[in-house]
């Protein structure tokens, strides 16, 4: 069960955190209750996904949204606060899956030469990660700008791996009363729109 507490990321200033709480309240003063309710819902979301630490992932999601809100000068338009939090949660979950698939070998278990090689590669990879984080932020923003139906379709379309992805698309096509081919064309159009938006937002257009 989620702990009933407000959890501020140390990298987020108190003023930015209050701004985040106000944004979540969406014009009302819930005295932090909206935050706690959103956190409970996110913990439940990650718990349903069988994540090892749903509380930590919920906090990461909220902290990430708070940082994004601060970057946008306190305004994320076009999407309701709860919906934006869930969009971010999906990204956090996908990152969680990728992290879980990686080897967890500790530096302490490596030889000095292996450790030096890893640390050298890490310094190069850091720049790549920073670039990917910027693109990820642009993608989150562009997803938030899509119509809700298009956003749900494209997120569901790319869920899963290999066989489960194929089956998921069949189920999605049936739910939307589309043929698999028509669904593919629709998803391609939405993806192209997203790619164009990301290029414009990231300055790569």
Nearest to 81 by CA among 23, 5, 14, 157: 23
CA-CA-CA-CA torsion sign (151, 202, 25, 43): positive
Phi-psi region of 51 (alpha: psi -120 to 50; beta: other; left: phi over 0): beta
For the stretch 88-100, pLDDT in tens is: 888 888 888 776 5
Residue pair 62/42 in contact by the 8 Å Cβ criterion: yes
Check the CA dihedral 19-20-23-24 and report its sign: negative
Measuring CA to CA, which residue among 99, 98, 37, 89 is closest to residue 68?
89
Tokens 């669904």: give the residue: 183
Class of residue 106 by CB neighbours under 10 A (exposed 0-12, middle 13-18, buried 19+): exposed
Beta carbons of 66 and 16 less than 8 angstroms apart: yes
Min mean pLDDT across 63-67, 115-119, 181-185, 200-204 is at 115-119
Helices (H) and strands (E) in the chain, counts: 8, 0
Longest dimension (CA), the chain: 59
32 vs 115: which has the higher pLDDT: 32
Which is it for the CA torsion 10, 13, 16, 21, positive or negative? positive
**Beta-carbon contacts of residue 82 (< 8 Å; ≥ 6 apart):** 38, 41
Instruction: Tell me the pLDDT tens digit for each residue of 32-66.
Output: 788 888 889 899 988 888 888 888 899 888 888 88
Give me the pLDDT at residue 36, please. 87
3-state secondary structure of 58: helix
Domain ranges for the chain, please list them: 7-100, 131-205
Q: Binning pLDDT at 50, 70 and 90, where does residue 166 land?
A: confident
């Amino acid at each position: 069960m989620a702990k009933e507490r407000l959890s501020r990321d140390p990298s987020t200033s108190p003023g930015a955190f209050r701004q985040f709480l106000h944004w979540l309240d969406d014009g009302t003063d819930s005295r932090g209750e909206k935050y706690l309710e959103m956190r409970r819902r996110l913990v439940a979301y990650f718990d349903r996904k069988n994540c090892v630490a749903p509380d930590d992932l919920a906090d990461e999601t909220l902290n990430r949204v708070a940082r994004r809100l601060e970057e946008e000068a306190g305004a994320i338009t076009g999407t309701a606060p709860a919906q934006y939090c869930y969009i971010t949660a999906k990204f956090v979950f996908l990152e969680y899956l990728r992290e879980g698939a990686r080897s967890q070998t500790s530096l302490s278990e490596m030889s000095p030469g292996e450790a030096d090689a890893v640390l050298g590669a890490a310094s190069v990879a850091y720049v790549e990660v920073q670039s990917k984080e910027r693109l990820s932020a642009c993608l989150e923003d562009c997803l938030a700008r899509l119509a809700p139906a298009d956003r749900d379709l494209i997120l569901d379309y790319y869920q899963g791996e290999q066989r489960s992805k194929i089956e998921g698309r069949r189920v999605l096509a049936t739910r939307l009363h589309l043929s698999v081919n028509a669904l593919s064309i629709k998803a391609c159009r939405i993806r192209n729109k997203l790619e164009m938006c990301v290029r414009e937002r990231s300055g790569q257009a």
